[in-house]
């Protein structure tokens, strides 16, 4: 899938995600990445990187989750691409505009640093798209744009839909629970971590024998 800017047209439920790299970047310079490490780390936005404010289009209400900056920086230091994969059904519901989504994206990057890619599903639950988590479309699209196989990607999220999207795409899912994560989602998760920094440290631990 080609890298494209987020649409500059009114929302149309055509089943395709918005894919864009901020300011036209494809990412910062890379160092060689060991095959033992993830090819990309994909972060859910709301409830994972930042506090979940339903249908938030106000950058002034953006608050990072604990250890979010340290966690993303730890991935960057290993030369691994970082991306955001997020459902934003407020667009389909008429509660968010593209400009509002962009304003929040810019504020997130002011607080957490630049991401190599944002993959946004602007559709609603009834639109039948393939990108709204728990479907795998956002993960597939992000991996294609970043040039890695889904099987080498890791998805970090706070609810079962994030892990279901990872599983459906063939990626590794890690649940980082918060106060809204349901107990049954924690029980069902193959991989969990108490916070983002612990999650990425486990994912990016230097393999034995790796220089």
> Among the options 44, 116, 158, 162, which is catalytic?
44
Beta 117-121 vs 18-20: how paired, if at all? antiparallel
> How many CB atoms lie under 10 A from the CB of residue 4?
13
Token representation of residue 116: 């190599």
Where do runs of H (alpha helix) occur along the chain? 68-77, 98-112, 137-146, 160-169, 183-188, 196-203
Structure tokens at 38: 């993830």
Smallest CA-to-CA distance from 68 within 117, 119, 113 is with 113
Q: Angle at which helices 137-146 and 160-169 pack, to 10 degrees?
A: 60
127 is known as an active-site residue: no
Write down the catalytic residue from 46, 116, 158, 162.
Answer: 46
- Assign 84 to helix, strand or coil: strand
CB atoms within 10 A of CB 141: 25
Measure the N-to-C terminal CA separation of the chain; round to a whole number of Å. Answer: 34
Overall average pLDDT of the 40-51 stretch: 98
Q: What share of the chain has pLDDT > 70, as a percent?
A: 85
Judge whether 162 counts as a catalytic residue: no
- Is the omega angle on the peptide bond into residue 134 within 30 degrees of 0, that is, cis? yes
* pLDDT score of 34: 72
- Is 101's pLDDT higher than 50? yes
Question: 175-203 pLDDT, tens per residue?
Answer: 999 999 999 999 999 999 999 999 999 99
Look at 30-39, 70-79, 144-153 and tell me which has the smallest mean pLDDT.
Answer: 30-39
Question: Taking a C-beta distance cutoff of 8 angstroms, is the pair 169, 150 a contact?
Answer: yes
Q: What is the pLDDT of residue 180?
A: 94
């Amino acid at each position: 899938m080609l890298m494209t800017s987020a649409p500059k047209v009114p929302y149309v439920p055509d089943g395709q995600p918005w894919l864009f790299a901020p300011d036209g970047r494809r990412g910062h310079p890379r160092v060689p990445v060991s095959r033992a490490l993830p090819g990309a780390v994909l972060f859910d936005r709301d409830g994972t990187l930042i506090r979940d404010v339903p249908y938030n289009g106000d950058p002034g209400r953006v608050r990072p989750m604990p250890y979010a900056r340290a966690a993303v920086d730890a991935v960057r230091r290993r030369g691994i691409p970082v991306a955001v994969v997020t459902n934003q059904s407020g667009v389909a519901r008429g509660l968010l505009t593209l400009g509002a989504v962009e304003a929040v994206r810019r504020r997130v990057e002011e607080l957490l640093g630049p991401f190599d890619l944002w993959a946004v599903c602007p559709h609603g639950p009834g639109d039948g798209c393939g990108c709204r988590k728990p479907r795998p479309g956002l993960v597939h699209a992000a991996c294609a744009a970043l040039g890695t196989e889904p099987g080498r990607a890791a998805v970090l999220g706070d609810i079962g839909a994030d892990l279901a999207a990872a599983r459906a795409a063939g990626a590794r899912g890690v649940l980082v629970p918060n106060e809204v994560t349901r107990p049954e989602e924690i029980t069902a998760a193959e991989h969990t971590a108490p916070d983002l920094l612990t999650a990425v440290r486990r994912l990016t631990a230097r393999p034995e024998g790796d220089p």
